[in-house]
Structure 1
Amino acid sequence: MGSYTLAVSVTVLSVASFLIYPSSGVSHDILTTICSKTQNHDACERSLESDSRTRSADLPKLSLISIELTMKQADHNHRTFSDLRDNATDPRLEDSFRNCVGFYKEMQAQIRAAYHLSQKRQYQKITELVQSERLAQECASGIPINCLEIDALTTTMLLAIKTSESVNQYIAKSLA
């Protein structure tokens, strides 16, 4: 009777571990391949792996995760530039931050459009991310001061966009 209980326990544990860590998830090798197309491979991998869903995600889910991470960064940057605009005492800076708020509002709409295309599994049609990259750069170039915090916001935004672009390009090629 003891060996039967042991066999049942092992079976239950095996099934439980499969449910917790399904083997159908995106492999580390695929993440490495995806992130090798970005300028900062390690940061790309850390970003994707920072979301606990990545471990068990298939490629379509990874697309959604990457776009959600991009939206989260765009939302953060939008709030930051709104706060900077509201607290600016220099009219030139206020105008620059106001422009950035507009750019990020447009970017949020583009990222939502990319998300909807991903939901429809139309990865080859996701071009909004490239437009978002241009807007982030336009915001940064329009600020008349050098500021490490603003540079960091822009760098983080561009990394999120590049990561999403790379994920969706990989998926479009692999499903073609």
Structure 2
Amino acid sequence: MSRGSVVAKRYAKALFQAANDKGLVAETESQLKLVVDVVESSAELRAFLSAPNITLETKKQTLIQAFGAEASPIVLGTINLLIERGREGELASVLAAYLQVAGEALGRADAHVTSSKPLSADEQAKLADKFGALLGKTVRVTNSVNPELLGGLTVRIGDTLYDGSLKGKLERLDKTLQTAAI
């Protein structure tokens, strides 16, 4: 585990504990996701946050003005702490770790499904039910499209990859045939 992910997990655990104590786990998740999405989509904002010639107070005040109405004091406090400690670049890692920590505590898992075409809401719900029964958790599905899969889909839940894609099946068949020929 890299040092950055260990640090991000510590911040995420502390944030989760604070949010859980106040009963704001879901709200904190959506607010943190909003902040990360805005920061990740703006090269200017990332440059502003990482600029060494801008004071910490200026950075913190700017973020409070930008997100004060949308983010709770818990989220803003975590972001301020990251800035104070020079870890503003870990914001996306903190979100990923928060999703994992919250998911473990709440019996929830996130499934990242890659398919050759967009999945309908009904197909996503069926996948969530199927993997939820397999894992004994509530599963949330996010879908991305990759036309190179040819057909089928891949599902990543945590560190586990379920490959039901046509491309993956063809690659496994090719390996089997190559080892059988030797």
TM-score of the aligned structures, taking structure 2 as reference length: 0.27
| Relative contact order, higher structure (CA 8 A, sep 6+) | 1
TM-score of the aligned structures, taking structure 1 as reference length: 0.28
